[in-house]
Chains A and B, each alone.
Chain A
Amino acid sequence: MNVTVKFVSPLNRSAGTDQTSVSLPEGARLAELVGALREGFPRLFPAAERAIYMVDTTLAHQETALRDGGRVLMMQVLGGG
């Protein structure tokens, strides 16, 4: 299956692109996507490990299941006040 990953600023600078498509085995979870990104976008790490992810319309966790055609948003944790 394929999922589209969008990198929200400033992570798009580390990725070198605003978004990418990633092929994963059926039934893959977010953790596997992060593993695949480590290979394709090494400059995203370790930031990608501390990022938050939205899968389609829901805040996701490492165990969240992905779906074919799904959209994943990766953004840095916002902490400032």
Chain B
Amino acid sequence: MVLTDYDRVRYQRQMLIPGWGEEGQARLKASRVFVAGAGGLGSSVSLYLAAAGVGEIAICDADRVELSNLNRQILHTDARIGELKAVSAGQTLRALNPEIGVIPYPKLLDEDSVESIVGRSDIVVDCLDNYETRYLLNRFCIRHGIPFVHGAISGMMGQVTFLSPPETPCMRCILPEAPANGVFPVFGATPGLVGCIQALEVVKYLTGIGTTLKGRLLILDGSEMSFSSFTVRRRPSCADCGKLA
């Protein structure tokens, strides 16, 4: 993928990062990232990936914008209450960076739709609010060998890990059973921070610089401002990835 004069100016400061350069930027430009969810996590993930010049961002969410979303879902505005989140996200991301491709999917991800919606993405980012869909994407990513950057939050706590079995565990190795869904407390900066970390993981993977959170679960507690990472291992009995070599 060839960089234009516009690209060289727009992205000059990040291309100064050792190991990034024009080569790394060209890799970003040639990449497609699938962002599952256009809520709190999906807002900061997609905004920073768009600003960084990822060539194509597919963003999927079947919900509509509600007033109670706006303390954290900074892709959306009061004027867009009632609109489809994916469409609203597309408008915001295109305004931020008109040079990239943005594909909104205002659809539910399920067994029937996941293949056609996620398609040939280079990496999938988990910005979801439920484990049923996380497990669905987990199985899809294992099937196609696509890395899956998991993120989740509640209150002022968050977690991130980089899943790429068989090199790492999968989502179900970490949490074999889905917890009950429900309304969770959240302050907007928490998904903002966690989403930024997920965006960093994506960009490191795509450019080939740095070290990702493979095999490590990062737990952050905003109330104490503590960051801890824990080793995570595969479960040989895992129903989703246990049969991988």
Query: How many A-B contacts are there with CB distance less than 8 Å?
Result: 68
Instruction: List, in ascending order, chain B residues with CB within 8 A of A75's CB.
Output: 157, 219
Instruction: List, in ascending order, chain B residues with CB within 8 A of A59's CB.
Output: 174, 217, 230-233
Considering only CB atoms, which chain B residue lies closest to A60 in the complex? B230
Asked whether, in the complex, the Cβ of B131 is within 8 Å of the Cβ of A79, the reply is yes
Measured between alpha carbons, how far is A22 from B222 in the docked complex, in Å?
Answer: 28
Quick one: which of A8-62 are within 8 Å of B by CB?
8-10, 50, 52, 54, 57-59, 61
Quick one: which of B39-58 are within 8 Å of A by CB?
39-42
Provide the main secondary structure of the chain B interface: mixed
Contact with B233, one of A58, A76, A78, A79 (Cβ below 8 angstroms): A58
Considering only CB atoms, which chain A residue lies closest to B45 in the complex? A81
Quick one: which of B187-230 are within 8 Å of A by CB?
191, 217, 219, 221, 223, 228, 230
Provide the main secondary structure of the chain A interface: loop
Contact with B37, one of A10, A52, A81 (Cβ below 8 angstroms): A81
Asked whether, in the complex, the Cβ of A78 is within 8 Å of the Cβ of B153, the reply is yes
Instruction: List, in ascending order, chain A residues with CB within 8 A of B217's CB.
Output: 59
Instruction: List, in ascending order, chain A residues with CB within 8 A of B175's CB.
Output: 52, 77
Asked whether, in the complex, the Cβ of B40 is within 8 Å of the Cβ of A81, the reply is yes
Tally B residues with Cβ within 8 Å of A: 37
Considering only CB atoms, which chain B residue lies closest to A76 in the complex? B154
Q: Does B104 contact A (CB under 8 A)?
A: no
Q: Does B158 contact A (CB under 8 A)?
A: yes
Asked whether, in the complex, the Cβ of B191 is within 8 Å of the Cβ of A79, the reply is no
Instruction: List, in ascending order, chain B residues with CB within 8 A of A61's CB.
Output: 235
Asked whether, in the complex, the Cβ of A81 is within 8 Å of the Cβ of B230, the reply is no
Measured between alpha carbons, how far is A81 from B158 in the docked complex, in Å?
Answer: 9
Measured between alpha carbons, how far is A61 from B237 in the docked complex, in Å?
Answer: 12
Query: What is the distance, in angstroms, from B30's C-beta to the closest C-beta of chain A?
Result: 27
Given A50-B179, A52-B175, A79 and B231 contact (CB-CB distance below 8 Å): no
Of residues A78, A79, A81, which shows the largest number of chain B Cβ atoms within 10 Å of its Cβ? A81
Q: Does B75 contact A (CB under 8 A)?
A: no
Asked whether, in the complex, the Cβ of A79 is within 8 Å of the Cβ of B130, the reply is yes
Measured between alpha carbons, how far is A52 from B231 in the docked complex, in Å?
Answer: 13
Asked whether, in the complex, the Cβ of A81 is within 8 Å of the Cβ of B235, the reply is no
Measured between alpha carbons, how far is A76 from B154 in the docked complex, in Å?
Answer: 9
Instruction: List, in ascending order, chain B residues with CB within 8 A of A9's CB.
Output: 155, 157, 221, 223
Can you list the 3 inter-chain pairs with the closest CB atoms, starting with the nearest?
A: A80-B184, A81-B129, A78-B152
Q: A59-B232, A59-B233, A79-B179 are in contact. List 20 more A-B contacts (CB 8 A).
A: A9-B157, A50-B179, A52-B174, A54-B219, A54-B228, A58-B231, A59-B230, A59-B231, A61-B235, A75-B157, A76-B154, A78-B153, A78-B154, A79-B130, A79-B131, A79-B152, A79-B154, A80-B40, A80-B184, A81-B37
